[in-house]
Amino acid sequence: MLITVNDIEMEYFTFGRGEKIFVILPGVDTKSVLLSAKAVQAAYRVFEEEYTVYVFDRRKNMPDPYPVRQMAADTAAAMKALGIRDADIFGASQGGMIAMCIAMDSPELVHALALGSTSSAADDSVSEGTGRWIALAKAGDMTALTSEFIDCLYSENTIGKYKEMLIHINDNVGEEGIRRFIIQCEAIDGFNVYGELDKITCPVLVIGVEGDKVLPAAHSRRIAEKLGCELYLYGTEYGHCAFDEAPDYKQRLLDFFHQA
């Protein structure tokens, strides 16, 4: 589906039949979220009865640069246009950065917030990692980029089981997909809202991963310490995408929202 607001077009999809609203904000990608709709619905099926679930992409025709704060403003505008208020929101990776900004700038949209594998302030080590992705993408070396991406995002166990499938995640990515990937990665460099975290007043759950090579667990600890909120850390058995890997992750989110 497509929502148009303030001359901005944003793709999203929805599933579930519940009265409550659950919003998922994914991380950086080369492709539209619409291509993952069936997989996401299957992964989050525990939410379908209680919630109507919305999954938002970034805006189409991204400007360059496109700061995370603007991504958040655009997503908030789309939510308002769809009549979404008081939602339970889960932001993963860069989606968590967007979610924090929405909770700060449009608190009426957020009932409770779950942040997975994210950061409130990207440091030099984060910029170094995304810098490698950007350089490979600009060089058009999708084979090397995909290999780097897989190694950074997933655990050895997941790679061992699904490598033949994962090596195809960037197949058929055209120039626009590469462009949007670069813009999203560049937005992470310099992102810093740590000093504004006290603007977040809703209940928050932070989930980090000790095995995260992209946004190490220290970033999650720092957010939780600043907010004084609940923190859960997975071990080294999972990677950055623990939200896709850990079998109890979705139930953990649901349990938190029940308590919020």
Two tokens at 186?
């560049």
Contact 211, 155 (CB under 8 A): yes
Q: pLDDT digits over 204-231, tens only?
A: 999 999 999 999 999 999 999 999 999 9
Structurally, the chain folds into a number of domains equal to: 1
34-43: b (≥16 Cβ within 10 Å) or e: eebbeebbee
Residues in the chain: 260
> Would 129 be classed as within a structural domain?
no
> Would 50 be classed as within a structural domain?
yes
Domain range for residue 53? 2-122+191-259
Confidence of residue 170 (pLDDT cuts 50, 70, 90): very high
> Would you give the DSSP letter of residue 256?
H
Two tokens at 144?
């090397």
What pTM did the predictor assign? Answer: 0.98
> Would 20 be classed as within a structural domain?
yes
Find the CATH number of the domain harbouring 196: 3.40.50.1820
Q: pLDDT digits over 46-105, tens only?
A: 999 999 999 999 999 999 999 999 999 999 999 999 999 999 999 999 999 999 999 999
In single-letter form, the type of residue at position 42 comes to A
| Cα–Cα dist 230/210, whole Å | 16
CA distances from 85 to 3, 21, 80, 111, 190 (A): 16, 8, 7, 8, 30
The C-alpha torsion from 168 through 27 and 45 to 103, rounded to 10°, is -170
> Would 84 be classed as within a structural domain?
yes
> Would 146 be classed as within a structural domain?
no
